Structure 1
Amino acid sequence: MAELRGDGGPLPAIPDHLTIPQFLFDSHHPSRPVLKSPQPWLIEELTGRELGSDELRARTFGLANSLKIRWNIGEDDVGPSISPYLVCIFGPNHIDYPVAIWASLRLGAIVSGANPAYTADELLYQLTTTKARLLIAHPVSLPVALEAARLAGLSQENVVIFDAMPGIPHANIQDLIALGLEHTQQFVERRLKPGEGKRKLAFLSFSSGTTGRPKAVMIPHHSVIANAVQMAHWTQAKDESKPREFQRYKAGGRGLAVLPFYHIYGLLIILHFHLFIGHTLVVAEKFSFERFLDDIQRYGITNLCVVPPMAVLLCKHPAVKNYDLSSVRMLMSAAAPLSAELTNRLSELFPNAWIGQAYDRRLGSLGSGGVLLPGCTARVVKPDGSLAKLGETGELIVSSPSIALGYLNNREATAETFKDGWVVTGDEVYFNERKEIFVVDRIKELIKVRGFQVPPAELEGHLLDHPDVGDVCVVGMPDEYSGELPLAFVVPSSDAQARMKADPAAAATIRAAIMKVRTVISTSVRCMAERGREQHVADHKTRYKHLAGVEFVEAIPKNPSGKLLRRVLRNRAKALHKRGELVLKTRAKL
């Protein structure tokens, strides 16, 4: 197998001179279905409020106009180049989250969505890395937003909220839209030159690496547009000649946007692809499983995008039997591998639906991650540098018109991952004769918790600040609900070892202090050593980064150059777990 190309024939032309809102609102593409009757683009989950294309276009214009009038958001000419401003959006999904995205892009700005579970320190890092000029926050995220803005030196006047709040003076999106619609257009929307869409950034999406802090992935307008065209072409969304049961993505369908828009899955696939092919999206602020089931039944959801933890609940939660889920004709799982067992159970739960990972066949080979999209080319490279044959494992390297440009201000990481139009994924995979991909392991050592990337090095660096930790290595442990959970192998500090030797019961106390399930706020005065012991993971990291367990060891295995031998400890953890000597704190809530 020299190279493997996605099936589906040549792709239709992908415009490289349009921005994303111009592509969605102001043009027509040959692969886009034409709706025969008007329908809402977005529905607010709790209220049932509907927004159609005309209203969304107007709201986008109104907000863009206000952002220009109030903050001069747009682009600056800097010598021979153009420097766009950056708008950070922080919080869970909101029906005007897409409006905030498209308004910013209309002005030529860049958008960076932030995880609503972030602490102030984590959001601060994103604000300073991107040099954000404006922070748009969901009301529930406002306290963290204000603290991060203060630490970043961002004026409180540059913090905007989606909805007005009593007693809160910050500008809100609703009033800004109304203001913008009262004025004539105050901005000039730039038309890109041919090919410029491949270079002009639309998003900075933060993706964790195996070392250091999260990195900002540079995503141009063309990549998002290309991804929508690739998926529409592969799924034949425009073809109405097939029997209904074979139309996975029929125009007029309905999707449920419960996965977050800041995440690449929610941003590219759920938001932009589904709207491009004429689907209505029901926008949910947060995931509540029984409400999720009720939404499927109440809104007649036809296309369901999930991550493996949601698939586990669908297969095991006793409430499922109380709801009619028969409207679903396509269920796609992504962001992390879906086991063969779960795929089987989902096919039993949804007998008339297509079940797959990414854009799979109706029911592909169990355990596979699906097939390549049209326009994608893959190589599987063995450790010796040669190309693997079908069935042989190696590192996956892919090329596609929808790949990102690299990492912001990080030449070394960009050079390691983005090479001459190819992306070095760090995944150990193989392909079968049906061109289906199977993920064996991750060569790069990210831990995937419910689809979120957790870099072990980030947790290790934090744990090493704890006075009871002498050395540490964090590995991922398989978990049916979360996919993986972080487990820390810890070499206790000399002081901690002395306490444990004097009192065996101290081990449990030290372990709990390192994990610390909930934040403790104390008003009493403690000495500095006691304060130091409170610098544990749960107080300072977002929930999906919390440790599922701590295992004490005498030494961390390393190679001669000092690199942590994680695989050795992963195998040790699995053996301990199998013998019942290691109990992990799981996250499932049935």
Structure 2
Amino acid sequence: MSEVYGPGELAPIPDDLSIVQFMHDHHHSTRPVPKDFAPWFIEEETGRQIGYEDVKTRTNALAQALHARWGIGELQICIFSPNHVDYPIVTWAAFRLGAIISAANPAYTADELVYQLSATHAKLLVVHPWNLAAGRAAAQAVGLPAARIVLLERVPHAGLVTLAELVAAGAAVPRTFVERALRPGEGRTKLAFLSFSSGTTGLPKAVQIPHFSLIANVVQIASFAKTDPHPPKEHRYRPGDVSMAVLPFYHIYGQVINMHFMPFYGYSVVIIPKFDFLGMLNSIQRYRINFLPVVPPMIVALCKHPAVQKYDLSSVRHIASGAAPLSSELTLQLAKVLPNASVGQGYGMTETCTAISFPQIDMHICTPGSAGVLLPGVVVRVVREDGALAPVGETGELVVYSPSNAVGYLNNDEATRETFRDGWVHTGDEVYVNEKKELFVVDRIKDLIKVKGFQVAPPELEGHILELPDVSDVCVVGVADEYSGEVPRAFVVPSAGAQERIKGSADEAQRIKDTIIKHIADHKVHYKRLAGGVEFIDAVPKNPSGKILRRILRDRTRAAQAASASKAKL
């Protein structure tokens, strides 16, 4: 097999527009309806509908206020918030001025936010009241004054400016800011987002995503949607339908698909601040939601939670899973629970500015186990260990060219050279592609652990665990988990002193394990916790050069889990 090209024709992608200009001011050939065809967003709690004119007016007013108050231009703005109806407004207002958005996980501790603020040199922090304490602590730690913190909603006696106040101030005066205009071709290099990812190895890195990349992915998906062979009334992607944004806007999946593609294609998006399964079921029923962009843990709950039968989910016509592999078994189980809904999955990563494949548009239940079909404009290589290109059906590392590819990591030339090579992204995923240009993910060559679709870099946890005096060495790997996909497990070599105490007390081993687990839980976001437990070993397997051989411990764990599952069936 040589290079494999995604089927279908890719529409032209403008390279002289910012994302906000593409969304608000431009009518692209793939946009099926006028921009004011349907409400863009629906506030889940109140039912408030926000249409195109409101979105544009608030965006421009906020841009005016940011310019007048702080002289915002080519600066970095960090958003530290769950999903919120004004999240897109902040993002697009920043783009009017040429600013760059860095979106932070709202579950971050103050220390984790400090890392992101420091790495991006953020000059303004937009924070939700739920995150105010951590946001304030992190801002103080990096020297960001309180005058540069904006609250998305009012908090009594907080002493901080609110977004509503800024919008009102901007709307009350004539426009004085000069919008950031892009020269032909500049959209390919002018940064829009610094989105954090662990890449193929190591600590989280800021992925540099230019305006062109996100616009390209929206155009790719829209070009793909227009290839639907069914009559218009049976199209998979239908303007006027209702989708939901429960996946976080800070994550590349929510950022591109929910915040941008959905309103671009004429969907109304119900914005849900925080995932709660019963609340999600209620929203589906209340708003008659048609399209569910989800991750595998949500599908597990849809298949197994007894409350599912108590809700009217008949409005759901399409379910697309992403961010982590969806098993064939779960795909078929979901098809039984919601027989009227088409089911499939896609594949993407932050470094490719999300999707390179999407659920097959001509199939009700997509090929079980596949990560969808390649999108227009995508070219892939499946590279064997010897560097040769694998034939159809043979596995190797997935290497991707897409117009949506990011341009590298911020201030990290070594990691950029490792992952981004001559316009191609080396994903670290082991895959194969069949004759239908369907993608199948087999395993991860890279060391990353994916918990509910979130990336966890083992070295980050290992470094933290090694701070403990009872730990001599450690290796963290991902172990299979039905709900989360994978969870971290720490294989620990106790220090000499700890080993002596363990010999003298039956309870000491458990106490040390509990201390390690608590140490991670106290300092890391919830999905990085050691849900796979701690196991003591005599030595961490390494090659002659000292590199940790994680696959040995992963394979050992998989064999033990398989043996346990077989025994349970007897």
TM-score for both structures, normalised by structure 2: 0.95
Give the 5 Å matches for 1:446-525.
446-516=448-518
Which digits, 9 at most, give the CA deviation of each residue in 1:86-128, with x for residues without a partner? 1000010111000000001111000000000111111001001
2:252 — aligned with what? Answer: 264
Question: Deviation of residue 421 (structure 1)?
Answer: 1.0
Partner SS, residue 407 of structure 1: coil
Q: Which moved more, 1:354-363 or 1:325-334?
A: 354-363
Give the 5 Å matches for 1:89-108.
89-108=79-98
Call closer, same or farther: CA 1:38–1:230 in 2, change over 3 Å: closer
Partner SS, residue 406 of structure 1: coil
**How many Å separate the matches in 1 of 2:143 and 2:373?**
46
Partner SS, residue 146 of structure 1: helix
Q: Which moved more, 1:203-212 or 1:276-285?
A: 203-212
Q: Which moved more, 1:430-439 or 1:158-167?
A: 430-439
Give the 5 Å matches for 1:328-477.
328-358=316-346, 359-361=358-360, 362=363, 363-477=365-479
**How many Å separate the matches in 2 of 1:468 and 1:403?**
43
Partner SS, residue 484 of structure 1: strand
8 A Cα contact 2:37 2:240, kept in partner:
no
**How many Å separate the matches in 2 of 1:330 and 1:198?**
33
Partner SS, residue 161 of structure 2: coil
**How many Å separate the matches in 2 of 1:214 and 1:512?**
26
8 A Cα contact 1:252 1:278, kept in partner:
yes
1:544 — aligned with what? Answer: 527
1:575 — aligned with what? Answer: 559
Call closer, same or farther: CA 1:397–1:336 in 2, change over 3 Å: same
**How many Å separate the matches in 2 of 1:240 and 1:34?**
19
C-alpha RMSD over aligned residues = 1.4
Give the 5 Å matches for 1:42-53.
42-53=41-52
Gapped regions of structure 2 (runs ≥ 5): 347-357, 566-570
Question: Deviation of residue 212 (structure 1)?
Answer: 3.7
Residue type matched to 1:112 in 2? S
1:296 — aligned with what? Answer: 284
Residue type matched to 1:24 in 2? M
8 A Cα contact 1:94 1:283, kept in partner:
yes
The answer to whether structure 1 residue 6 and structure 2 residue 16 are counterparts is: no
Partner SS, residue 513 of structure 1: helix
8 A Cα contact 1:475 1:566, kept in partner:
yes
**How many Å separate the matches in 2 of 1:575 and 1:15?**
50
Q: Following TM superposition, where does structure 1 have runs of at least 4 consecutive aligned residues deviating by more than 2 angstroms? A: 35-39, 209-213, 574-581
Question: Deviation of residue 505 (structure 1)?
Answer: 1.8
**How many Å separate the matches in 2 of 1:211 and 1:469?**
23
2:231 — aligned with what? Answer: 242
TM-score for both structures, normalised by structure 1: 0.91
Question: Deviation of residue 504 (structure 1)?
Answer: 2.2
2:351 — aligned with what? Answer: none
1:283 — aligned with what? Answer: 271
8 A Cα contact 1:5 1:378, kept in partner:
yes
**How many Å separate the matches in 2 of 1:61 and 1:270?**
21
8 A Cα contact 2:35 2:266, kept in partner:
no
**How many Å separate the matches in 1 of 2:200 and 2:21?**
36
**How many Å separate the matches in 1 of 2:508 and 2:247?**
41
2:15 — aligned with what? Answer: 16
8 A Cα contact 2:36 2:51, kept in partner:
no
Partner SS, residue 347 of structure 1: helix
Question: Deviation of residue 21 (structure 1)?
Answer: 0.7
2:541 — aligned with what? Answer: 557
Residue type matched to 1:560 in 2? P
**How many Å separate the matches in 1 of 2:232 and 2:213?**
32
Matched residue count: 550
Question: Deviation of residue 38 (structure 1)?
Answer: 4.0
Question: Deviation of residue 35 (structure 1)?
Answer: 4.5
Question: Deviation of residue 243 (structure 1)?
Answer: 4.8
8 A Cα contact 2:36 2:53, kept in partner:
no
1:533 — aligned with what? Answer: none
Question: Deviation of residue 572 (structure 1)?
Answer: 1.5
Q: Which moved more, 1:446-455 or 1:184-193?
A: 184-193
Residue type matched to 1:40 in 2? P
